[in-house]
Chains A and B, each alone.
Chain A
């Protein structure tokens, strides 16, 4: 059995209070191993995004435990979480992914530059390399607003990989793309997963996309149902 990358137990997340209280997660438990490529499935509103933002340390659960790489993340403060996120977790979102005033390359190297306080030549070299692996060698210095939807998502994947994180969380990364672009993005993700052993958790409600992943995690009623 492979080493556990992350483990959550009895995750509860409620929004609002009193009459308006919504229980989104109701004691969800999940374990992911290093090198997994998993799809997160479930109907709209089932709590996929909520789970991903908690796993990504962008939001604290109401209760439950959250361990990753042996670190207890439920008790960490904002500064520690920010640093942890920067080093160990990559994100790909559905919308609003790139910084509009920056080029593709500048977007990709952001996670390294923000940690080092400047854009180093080494970071640029890695950024270029990642972009060419995403098939964007000729779009390196393009302003990000001039890229197509599929290109933007591939830049976002490159950026998510910039700091060689153990875990990449992608929330419906193909939700906005046509089928061809969606398949291209998923193929690239699969390739990175095979070549570098990066763990991916990708939410989608598209069964075909989910089928490209090795493991399917289904959420419903606030818990993992399959």
Chain B
């Protein structure tokens, strides 16, 4: 209906100031929509990136299985207490088989088998308790980005080497090249050379974790075979739940997604998303109200003309089309203007990779420009339906008012 479109355009042009205000109002709504999308999306990316960098997306942790207690059911009342053995160590016996299987799954970026335990470091008269984390040499940065935290020495582990945190090094007055004695809870000890010092910036971590090679950890933990933990990094951390289920299905091991522990982060992200959605909805609702009220007014003002058009043989559908087209045109113009405005304003914010904690982490890629324009045109068209129907119902006889 090219002709109806022409009339719609003519009507918008005939009250230029009013139409310009309307388009501007719509553009503002679209701008808010885009800005909120970029802010909420950017914030989510920022938070996820800052926690996900060092996070194991899926973990398999060995659990101690308590022996089954054999008891005669007919003995009457018995108080039974099972004391957990501190010595018995849980481990994943067949890790060597599973690791390559898991590594072959789609979306898996890295698989890190680890042997973990606790012990204490002695240096002269000083003693410090540490968590021992044995990782495969070459995979030091597979989960925690250790290479980016190294402040002295090298990240490379090997036999007889250890990497410790800055705080621990300060406490024990250690530098790279110094030798320490590490006693494990299993009662094994080793003399190790400090080959690297890292600083993550989290006190507990920097004070209490000593990285050693998997083989060194095996000796220290007196674990002849298997590992105690497998950590897995994915390309998409949102796929963690599905991948964990898949790993459990394939290996029979209890794989846990980070979301189980990260539930708080997830719910915070969700709350943020909902707030954003609410604001975006308000923006769209204000567009609807603006367009509907303005067109309703125009319907009223043009009653006589509508009557003339109907008398000349314009169908109700034609009249509907004239007014709906006005809504769609306003939506399109306002949408494009708002998107352009959003694009220009969002340029002022640093790109994703250069995001700085002190600046709002607004991400232009999350701006949802196409969606904003499409949604606006759709909503503007729908908003015009009510006035358009009112226009189509105009009675030509009373409108012409002879």
Contacts and interface: CB of A to CB of B under 8 A. Distances in A.
Contacts of B304: 96
Contacts of A87: 313
Given A95-B402, A101-B10, A101-B11, A114 B314 contact: yes
Contacts of A96: 304-305, 307-308, 400-401
A86 B312 contact: yes
B188 interface: no
A49 interface: yes
Interface string A52-64: 0100101100000
Interface stretch (A77-85, A127-135, A217-225): A77-85
Given A91-B311, A96-B307, A159-B312, A114 B401 contact: no
A15 to B, nearest CB: 11
Interface in B150-182: none
Given A58-B311, A87-B313, A99-B305, A114 B3 contact: yes
A110 B305 contact: no
Interface string B291-321: 0000000000000110111111111101000
Given A99-B309, A119-B3, A114 B10 contact: no
Nearest to B399: A96
Interface string A36-61: 00000000000001000100101100
Contact of A114 (B11, B309, B396, B402): B309
A165 to B, nearest CB: 10
B14 interface: yes
B313 A85 contact: yes
A62 to B, nearest CB: 14
A114 B318 contact: yes
Contact of B312 (A53, A78, A79, A114): A114
B346 to A, nearest CB: 38
A97 interface: yes
Interface centre among A97, A115, A172 (most CB of B within 10 A): A115
B128 interface: no
Contacts of B1: 117
A118 B3 contact: yes
A188 B4 CA distance: 32
B310 A82 contact: yes
Contacts of B371: none
Interface residues of B, number: 27
Contacts of A102: 10
Nearest to B314: A114
A99 B308 contact: yes
Interface residues of A, number: 36
A128 B245 CA distance: 77
Contacts of B265: none
A49 B309 contact: no
Interface in A160-212: 163, 171-172
Contacts of A113: 3
A97 B305 contact: no
B78 to A, nearest CB: 90
Interface string B359-402: 00000000000000000000000000000000000001100111
Contacts of A49: 402
Contacts of A150: none
Interface string B1-33: 111101000110110000000000000000000
Contacts of B397: 53, 58-59
Contact of B311 (A85, A101, A116, A118): A85
A35 interface: no
Interface in B256-314: 304-305, 307-314
B2 A118 contact: yes
Contacts of A163: 313
B2 A114 contact: no
Contacts of B14: 100-101
B308 A97 contact: yes
Contacts of A82: 310, 313-316
A171 B316 CA distance: 24
Contacts of A83: 313, 315
Contacts of A116: 3
A92 to B, nearest CB: 10
Nearest to A82: B315
A86 B401 contact: no
A115 B313 contact: yes
Nearest to B13: A101
A114 B307 contact: no
B2 A93 contact: no
Nearest to A106: B10
Contacts of A78: 316
A99 B305 CA distance: 6
Given A111-B312, A119-B3, 15 more contacts: A79-B315, A85-B311, A86-B312, A87-B313, A91-B311, A91-B312, A95-B400, A95-B402, A96-B307, A101-B13, A114-B3, A114-B312, A117-B3, A163-B313, A171-B402
13 contacts: A56-B311, A58-B310, A58-B396, A59-B397, A82-B313, A85-B313, A86-B313, A95-B402, A101-B10, A110-B312, A114-B309, A114-B313, A118-B3
Closest 6 CB pairs of A and B: A86-B313, A96-B304, A101-B14, A49-B402, A118-B2, A111-B312
Interface of A: 49, 53, 56, 58-59, 78-79, 82-83, 85-87, 91, 93-102, 110-111, 113-119, 159, 163, 171-172
